[in-house]
Amino acid sequence: MDDRSVAQRVLDHIANGTTDIGEEVWREPVANYQSKERLAAEIERVLRRSPTPFCPAAALPEIGSYIARDAAGTPTVVVRGVDGKVRAFRNACRHRGMQVASDSGCTRAFVCRYHGWTYNLEGRLRHIPHEEGFPGFDKEAHPLVPMTASERFGLVFVTQDEPALGDDSLGGLDKLISPEQRLFATAEREFEVNWKILLEGFIEGYHIKSTHPESFLPYGFDNLNVIDLFGRHSRVTYPFQRIKKLAKVPPAERRVDGLLTYVYHLFPNVLITVLSRHTNVVILEPLAVDRTRQITYTLTNGGGDDPAALAEARRDADFVGNTGAQEDRAVVQAIQRGLGSRANDAFIFGHYESAIVHFHKTLTAALA
Protein backbone atom coordinates (compact mmCIF):
# COMPACT_ATOMS: atom_id res chain seq x y z
CA MET A 1 0.00 0.00 0.00
CA ASP A 2 3.02 2.34 -0.17
CA ASP A 3 2.86 5.38 -2.46
CA ARG A 4 5.43 4.15 -4.99
CA SER A 5 3.70 0.81 -5.48
CA VAL A 6 0.37 2.58 -5.92
CA ALA A 7 1.89 4.93 -8.50
CA GLN A 8 3.21 1.98 -10.51
CA ARG A 9 -0.14 0.20 -10.36
CA VAL A 10 -1.89 3.35 -11.61
CA LEU A 11 0.60 3.83 -14.46
CA ASP A 12 0.19 0.19 -15.48
CA HIS A 13 -3.60 0.62 -15.59
CA ILE A 14 -3.26 3.77 -17.72
CA ALA A 15 -0.93 2.00 -20.15
CA ASN A 16 -3.18 -1.06 -20.42
CA GLY A 17 -6.60 0.57 -20.20
CA THR A 18 -7.45 -1.51 -17.13
CA THR A 19 -8.49 -1.09 -13.51
CA ASP A 20 -8.50 -3.18 -10.32
CA ILE A 21 -11.14 -5.90 -10.49
CA GLY A 22 -12.75 -7.72 -7.57
CA GLU A 23 -13.26 -11.44 -7.37
CA GLU A 24 -17.02 -11.63 -6.90
CA VAL A 25 -20.39 -10.01 -7.41
CA TRP A 26 -22.47 -9.28 -4.30
CA ARG A 27 -26.23 -8.99 -3.98
CA GLU A 28 -27.29 -6.93 -0.95
CA PRO A 29 -31.01 -7.25 -0.09
CA VAL A 30 -32.81 -3.92 -0.24
CA ALA A 31 -34.57 -4.97 2.97
CA ASN A 32 -31.24 -4.55 4.78
CA TYR A 33 -31.45 -0.80 4.13
CA GLN A 34 -35.06 -0.56 5.33
CA SER A 35 -35.30 -2.88 8.33
CA LYS A 36 -35.36 -1.25 11.76
CA GLU A 37 -34.36 -4.59 13.30
CA ARG A 38 -31.34 -4.82 11.02
CA LEU A 39 -30.27 -1.25 11.88
CA ALA A 40 -30.61 -1.98 15.60
CA ALA A 41 -28.36 -5.03 15.17
CA GLU A 42 -25.78 -3.01 13.20
CA ILE A 43 -25.63 -0.43 15.99
CA GLU A 44 -25.69 -2.77 18.97
CA ARG A 45 -23.54 -5.62 17.66
CA VAL A 46 -21.13 -3.85 15.28
CA LEU A 47 -20.82 -0.07 15.74
CA ARG A 48 -20.74 -0.22 19.54
CA ARG A 49 -18.28 -3.11 19.64
CA SER A 50 -15.82 -1.87 17.00
CA PRO A 51 -12.77 0.31 17.78
CA THR A 52 -14.07 3.31 15.82
CA PRO A 53 -12.45 6.70 15.20
CA PHE A 54 -14.33 9.31 17.22
CA CYS A 55 -12.34 12.37 16.12
CA PRO A 56 -8.85 13.41 15.01
CA ALA A 57 -6.40 13.78 17.89
CA ALA A 58 -5.92 17.37 16.66
CA ALA A 59 -9.48 18.11 17.81
CA LEU A 60 -8.26 17.65 21.41
CA PRO A 61 -5.17 19.88 21.34
CA GLU A 62 -4.68 20.62 25.06
CA ILE A 63 -5.44 19.45 28.59
CA GLY A 64 -9.18 19.73 29.19
CA SER A 65 -10.15 19.73 25.50
CA TYR A 66 -13.30 17.67 25.06
CA ILE A 67 -15.92 16.66 22.50
CA ALA A 68 -19.39 15.50 23.51
CA ARG A 69 -21.79 13.94 21.01
CA ASP A 70 -23.82 10.83 20.41
CA ALA A 71 -21.91 7.91 18.88
CA ALA A 72 -23.88 4.85 17.77
CA GLY A 73 -26.79 6.34 19.70
CA THR A 74 -24.81 6.60 22.94
CA PRO A 75 -24.13 9.99 24.60
CA THR A 76 -20.32 10.06 24.72
CA VAL A 77 -17.68 12.51 25.92
CA VAL A 78 -13.99 12.27 25.04
CA VAL A 79 -11.45 14.42 26.88
CA ARG A 80 -7.69 14.93 27.15
CA GLY A 81 -6.62 14.56 30.78
CA VAL A 82 -3.99 16.35 32.82
CA ASP A 83 -1.57 13.52 31.96
CA GLY A 84 -2.13 14.13 28.24
CA LYS A 85 -4.01 10.85 27.85
CA VAL A 86 -7.31 10.71 25.99
CA ARG A 87 -10.25 9.13 27.85
CA ALA A 88 -13.84 8.37 26.84
CA PHE A 89 -16.89 8.19 29.10
CA ARG A 90 -20.61 7.59 28.85
CA ASN A 91 -21.93 11.12 29.05
CA ALA A 92 -24.29 10.72 32.02
CA CYS A 93 -24.10 11.94 35.62
CA ARG A 94 -24.14 9.12 38.18
CA HIS A 95 -26.86 10.94 40.14
CA ARG A 96 -29.82 11.26 37.77
CA GLY A 97 -28.31 10.66 34.30
CA MET A 98 -28.03 14.24 33.08
CA GLN A 99 -25.30 14.81 30.46
CA VAL A 100 -22.27 16.43 32.06
CA ALA A 101 -20.91 17.96 28.82
CA SER A 102 -22.24 19.26 25.52
CA ASP A 103 -20.73 20.18 22.16
CA SER A 104 -16.98 20.84 22.49
CA GLY A 105 -14.64 23.10 24.43
CA CYS A 106 -12.01 23.12 27.15
CA THR A 107 -12.69 22.66 30.84
CA ARG A 108 -11.03 21.85 34.16
CA ALA A 109 -13.90 19.64 35.32
CA PHE A 110 -17.30 18.36 34.24
CA VAL A 111 -20.11 19.88 36.29
CA CYS A 112 -23.62 18.50 35.92
CA ARG A 113 -25.86 21.55 35.43
CA TYR A 114 -28.80 19.81 37.08
CA HIS A 115 -27.46 19.51 40.65
CA GLY A 116 -23.79 20.44 40.37
CA TRP A 117 -22.18 17.04 40.82
CA THR A 118 -18.58 17.52 39.67
CA TYR A 119 -16.15 15.10 37.99
CA ASN A 120 -12.47 15.63 37.21
CA LEU A 121 -10.93 15.00 33.80
CA GLU A 122 -10.20 11.40 34.78
CA GLY A 123 -13.92 10.90 35.42
CA ARG A 124 -13.72 10.65 39.23
CA LEU A 125 -16.59 12.16 41.22
CA ARG A 126 -15.02 14.96 43.29
CA HIS A 127 -17.88 17.07 44.65
CA ILE A 128 -21.52 16.65 45.65
CA PRO A 129 -23.31 19.82 46.80
CA HIS A 130 -24.88 19.28 50.24
CA GLU A 131 -23.24 15.88 50.44
CA GLU A 132 -24.81 15.29 53.88
CA GLY A 133 -28.04 14.49 52.04
CA PHE A 134 -26.47 11.26 50.77
CA PRO A 135 -25.26 9.51 53.94
CA GLY A 136 -22.83 6.67 53.32
CA PHE A 137 -22.56 7.44 49.58
CA ASP A 138 -19.18 6.34 48.16
CA LYS A 139 -17.97 8.89 45.61
CA GLU A 140 -15.05 6.68 44.58
CA ALA A 141 -17.48 3.96 43.51
CA HIS A 142 -19.45 6.31 41.22
CA PRO A 143 -17.12 7.77 38.57
CA LEU A 144 -18.24 8.54 35.05
CA VAL A 145 -18.57 5.18 33.31
CA PRO A 146 -15.52 4.69 31.08
CA MET A 147 -15.24 3.37 27.55
CA THR A 148 -12.09 2.01 25.95
CA ALA A 149 -10.15 4.82 24.24
CA SER A 150 -6.82 4.90 22.41
CA GLU A 151 -4.88 7.37 20.29
CA ARG A 152 -3.28 5.98 17.13
CA PHE A 153 -2.45 7.23 13.62
CA GLY A 154 -3.51 10.73 14.66
CA LEU A 155 -7.01 9.52 15.52
CA VAL A 156 -8.90 8.87 18.77
CA PHE A 157 -10.52 5.43 18.73
CA VAL A 158 -13.39 4.53 21.06
CA THR A 159 -14.87 1.09 21.73
CA GLN A 160 -18.15 1.33 23.62
CA ASP A 161 -19.00 -2.25 24.52
CA GLU A 162 -17.03 -5.36 25.33
CA PRO A 163 -16.00 -7.77 24.09
CA ALA A 164 -14.55 -5.74 21.22
CA LEU A 165 -15.39 -6.98 17.74
CA GLY A 166 -12.33 -8.77 16.40
CA ASP A 167 -8.97 -7.33 15.39
CA ASP A 168 -9.01 -3.79 14.00
CA SER A 169 -6.27 -4.82 11.50
CA LEU A 170 -4.63 -1.39 11.26
CA GLY A 171 -1.10 -2.51 12.09
CA GLY A 172 0.01 -2.32 8.45
CA LEU A 173 -0.63 1.42 8.20
CA ASP A 174 2.30 3.78 8.65
CA LYS A 175 0.22 6.96 8.96
CA LEU A 176 -3.19 8.51 8.55
CA ILE A 177 -3.07 11.92 10.27
CA SER A 178 0.35 13.41 11.03
CA PRO A 179 1.30 15.86 13.82
CA GLU A 180 1.92 18.56 11.17
CA GLN A 181 -1.73 18.56 10.12
CA ARG A 182 -3.94 21.26 11.63
CA LEU A 183 -7.69 21.04 12.18
CA PHE A 184 -9.38 24.08 10.61
CA ALA A 185 -13.05 23.15 10.20
CA THR A 186 -15.72 20.93 11.74
CA ALA A 187 -19.18 20.43 10.30
CA GLU A 188 -22.29 18.39 11.07
CA ARG A 189 -25.13 17.71 8.66
CA GLU A 190 -28.07 15.34 8.61
CA PHE A 191 -29.14 13.54 5.45
CA GLU A 192 -32.31 11.58 4.76
CA VAL A 193 -30.25 8.57 3.68
CA ASN A 194 -29.39 5.19 5.17
CA TRP A 195 -25.82 5.28 6.51
CA LYS A 196 -24.67 2.44 4.25
CA ILE A 197 -25.92 4.14 1.07
CA LEU A 198 -24.05 7.29 2.11
CA LEU A 199 -20.89 5.26 2.76
CA GLU A 200 -21.06 3.35 -0.53
CA GLY A 201 -20.84 6.60 -2.51
CA PHE A 202 -17.33 7.22 -1.19
CA ILE A 203 -15.68 3.91 -2.09
CA GLU A 204 -16.08 3.26 -5.79
CA GLY A 205 -14.99 5.13 -8.92
CA TYR A 206 -17.32 3.39 -11.34
CA HIS A 207 -19.64 6.44 -11.24
CA ILE A 208 -17.15 9.24 -12.05
CA LYS A 209 -18.05 9.77 -15.72
CA SER A 210 -21.82 9.72 -15.19
CA THR A 211 -22.04 11.62 -11.90
CA HIS A 212 -19.12 14.07 -12.17
CA PRO A 213 -18.72 14.87 -15.91
CA GLU A 214 -17.71 18.50 -15.37
CA SER A 215 -16.27 18.49 -11.84
CA PHE A 216 -13.97 15.50 -11.29
CA LEU A 217 -13.81 13.74 -14.66
CA PRO A 218 -11.76 16.45 -16.46
CA TYR A 219 -9.06 16.06 -13.81
CA GLY A 220 -9.33 12.32 -13.21
CA PHE A 221 -10.32 9.06 -14.85
CA ASP A 222 -13.52 7.12 -15.30
CA ASN A 223 -13.46 3.70 -13.63
CA LEU A 224 -9.71 3.63 -12.98
CA ASN A 225 -9.01 2.76 -9.36
CA VAL A 226 -6.50 0.95 -7.21
CA ILE A 227 -8.25 -0.90 -4.39
CA ASP A 228 -6.51 -2.27 -1.30
CA LEU A 229 -8.24 -4.43 1.31
CA PHE A 230 -6.68 -4.80 4.75
CA GLY A 231 -8.49 -6.71 7.46
CA ARG A 232 -11.97 -5.25 7.83
CA HIS A 233 -10.93 -2.02 6.10
CA SER A 234 -10.20 -0.78 2.59
CA ARG A 235 -8.60 2.02 0.62
CA VAL A 236 -9.62 3.27 -2.83
CA THR A 237 -7.14 5.33 -4.86
CA TYR A 238 -8.55 7.90 -7.28
CA PRO A 239 -5.72 9.11 -9.57
CA PHE A 240 -5.62 12.46 -11.35
CA GLN A 241 -4.64 12.87 -15.02
CA ARG A 242 -1.45 14.64 -13.97
CA ILE A 243 -0.11 11.42 -12.43
CA LYS A 244 0.96 10.48 -15.98
CA LYS A 245 4.05 12.66 -15.57
CA LEU A 246 5.44 10.10 -13.10
CA ALA A 247 6.06 7.71 -15.99
CA LYS A 248 9.21 9.74 -16.75
CA VAL A 249 10.35 9.79 -13.10
CA PRO A 250 12.56 6.96 -11.75
CA PRO A 251 10.38 4.73 -9.48
CA ALA A 252 12.50 5.44 -6.39
CA GLU A 253 11.92 9.19 -6.81
CA ARG A 254 8.17 9.17 -7.39
CA ARG A 255 5.93 11.20 -5.08
CA VAL A 256 2.14 11.10 -5.30
CA ASP A 257 1.26 14.24 -3.29
CA GLY A 258 -1.31 16.21 -5.29
CA LEU A 259 -1.54 13.48 -7.94
CA LEU A 260 -4.26 11.31 -6.45
CA THR A 261 -6.89 11.02 -3.73
CA TYR A 262 -6.88 8.27 -1.13
CA VAL A 263 -10.18 7.27 0.47
CA TYR A 264 -9.77 4.99 3.47
CA HIS A 265 -12.78 3.16 4.83
CA LEU A 266 -12.20 2.26 8.47
CA PHE A 267 -14.85 -0.30 9.32
CA PRO A 268 -17.61 0.17 10.10
CA ASN A 269 -18.59 3.83 9.60
CA VAL A 270 -15.57 6.15 9.19
CA LEU A 271 -13.90 7.49 6.04
CA ILE A 272 -10.57 9.30 5.74
CA THR A 273 -10.31 11.22 2.45
CA VAL A 274 -6.80 12.44 1.67
CA LEU A 275 -7.07 15.05 -1.09
CA SER A 276 -4.51 17.35 -2.69
CA ARG A 277 -4.26 19.96 0.08
CA HIS A 278 -6.61 18.77 2.82
CA THR A 279 -7.84 15.66 4.61
CA ASN A 280 -11.36 14.92 5.83
CA VAL A 281 -12.26 12.59 8.67
CA VAL A 282 -15.89 11.67 7.96
CA ILE A 283 -18.00 9.87 10.58
CA LEU A 284 -21.41 8.50 9.63
CA GLU A 285 -23.77 8.15 12.61
CA PRO A 286 -27.00 6.24 11.87
CA LEU A 287 -30.06 7.99 13.32
CA ALA A 288 -32.78 5.93 11.62
CA VAL A 289 -33.10 3.61 8.63
CA ASP A 290 -33.46 6.70 6.44
CA ARG A 291 -31.47 9.33 8.33
CA THR A 292 -27.74 9.78 9.01
CA ARG A 293 -25.69 12.45 10.76
CA GLN A 294 -22.38 13.15 9.02
CA ILE A 295 -19.63 14.69 11.16
CA THR A 296 -16.67 16.00 9.15
CA TYR A 297 -13.33 17.16 10.57
CA THR A 298 -11.15 18.94 7.99
CA LEU A 299 -7.37 19.25 8.36
CA THR A 300 -4.49 20.67 6.37
CA ASN A 301 -2.15 18.18 4.71
CA GLY A 302 0.86 19.53 6.55
CA GLY A 303 2.64 22.84 6.90
CA GLY A 304 1.97 23.19 10.60
CA ASP A 305 0.74 26.71 11.34
CA ASP A 306 1.89 28.18 8.00
CA PRO A 307 -0.87 30.58 6.78
CA ALA A 308 -0.16 29.69 3.14
CA ALA A 309 -0.74 25.98 3.80
CA LEU A 310 -4.00 26.79 5.56
CA ALA A 311 -5.17 29.02 2.69
CA GLU A 312 -4.40 26.28 0.15
CA ALA A 313 -6.28 23.73 2.25
CA ARG A 314 -9.34 26.00 2.46
CA ARG A 315 -9.40 26.53 -1.32
CA ASP A 316 -9.06 22.79 -1.93
CA ALA A 317 -11.84 22.00 0.57
CA ASP A 318 -14.17 24.62 -0.97
CA PHE A 319 -13.75 23.17 -4.46
CA VAL A 320 -14.43 19.59 -3.35
CA GLY A 321 -17.30 20.52 -1.03
CA ASN A 322 -19.03 22.83 -3.52
CA THR A 323 -18.83 20.53 -6.54
CA GLY A 324 -18.35 16.80 -6.32
CA ALA A 325 -19.67 16.37 -2.78
CA GLN A 326 -22.97 18.04 -3.69
CA GLU A 327 -23.30 15.82 -6.75
CA ASP A 328 -22.68 12.71 -4.66
CA ARG A 329 -25.22 13.78 -2.04
CA ALA A 330 -27.88 14.31 -4.71
CA VAL A 331 -27.29 10.79 -6.02
CA VAL A 332 -27.43 8.99 -2.67
CA GLN A 333 -30.57 10.87 -1.66
CA ALA A 334 -32.18 9.79 -4.95
CA ILE A 335 -31.18 6.18 -4.21
CA GLN A 336 -32.86 6.45 -0.82
CA ARG A 337 -36.06 7.71 -2.44
CA GLY A 338 -35.78 4.92 -4.99
CA LEU A 339 -36.03 2.31 -2.26
CA GLY A 340 -39.74 3.09 -2.11
CA SER A 341 -40.21 2.16 -5.78
CA ARG A 342 -40.02 -1.56 -4.91
CA ALA A 343 -38.22 -2.06 -8.24
CA ASN A 344 -35.33 -4.00 -6.70
CA ASP A 345 -35.20 -6.78 -4.18
CA ALA A 346 -31.41 -6.45 -4.05
CA PHE A 347 -28.62 -4.08 -5.10
CA ILE A 348 -25.94 -5.63 -7.30
CA PHE A 349 -22.30 -4.68 -6.65
CA GLY A 350 -19.98 -5.83 -9.42
CA HIS A 351 -16.28 -6.41 -9.98
CA TYR A 352 -15.57 -2.65 -10.17
CA GLU A 353 -17.15 -2.09 -6.73
CA SER A 354 -15.01 -4.50 -4.71
CA ALA A 355 -14.51 -2.17 -1.73
CA ILE A 356 -18.31 -2.10 -1.30
CA VAL A 357 -18.45 -5.88 -1.65
CA HIS A 358 -15.77 -6.15 1.04
CA PHE A 359 -17.75 -3.86 3.34
CA HIS A 360 -20.98 -5.84 3.02
CA LYS A 361 -19.21 -9.19 3.43
CA THR A 362 -17.47 -7.89 6.56
CA LEU A 363 -20.66 -6.42 8.00
CA THR A 364 -22.62 -9.61 7.33
CA ALA A 365 -19.92 -11.71 8.98
CA ALA A 366 -19.79 -9.39 12.01
CA LEU A 367 -23.55 -9.61 12.48
CA ALA A 368 -23.38 -13.40 12.24
Render pLDDT for 115-135 as a digit per residue (tens, 0 to 9). Answer: 999 999 999 999 999 999 999
From 14, 51, 97, 65, select the one nearest 183 (Cα to Cα).
Answer: 65
CA distances from 45 to 41, 156, 157, 324 (A): 5, 21, 17, 33
What is the CATH code of the structural domain delimited by 1-50+167-368?
Answer: 3.90.380.10
Position 235 scores a pLDDT of 96
258/315 Cα distance (integer angstroms): 14
Low-confidence ranges of the chain (pLDDT < 70): 166-168, 172
Position 164 scores a pLDDT of 82
What is the CATH code of the structural domain delimited by 51-164?
Answer: 2.102.10.10
Intervals of CATH 3.90.380.10 along the chain: 1-50+167-368
5/219 Cα distance (integer angstroms): 22
Position 237 scores a pLDDT of 97
Intervals of CATH 2.102.10.10 along the chain: 51-164
Q: What is the mean pLDDT of the chain?
A: 95
Could you read off the pLDDT of 139-185 as tens digits, one per residue? 999 999 999 999 999 999 999 998 887 666 787 677 799 999 999 99
Position 167 scores a pLDDT of 65
Contact 60, 67 (CB under 8 A): yes
CA distances from 240 to 42, 141, 158, 225, 257 (A): 35, 57, 34, 10, 11
141/134 Cα distance (integer angstroms): 14
Contact 25, 348 (CB under 8 A): yes
Position 321 scores a pLDDT of 79
- Bridge partners (DSSP) of residue 187 are 296
Position 19 scores a pLDDT of 97
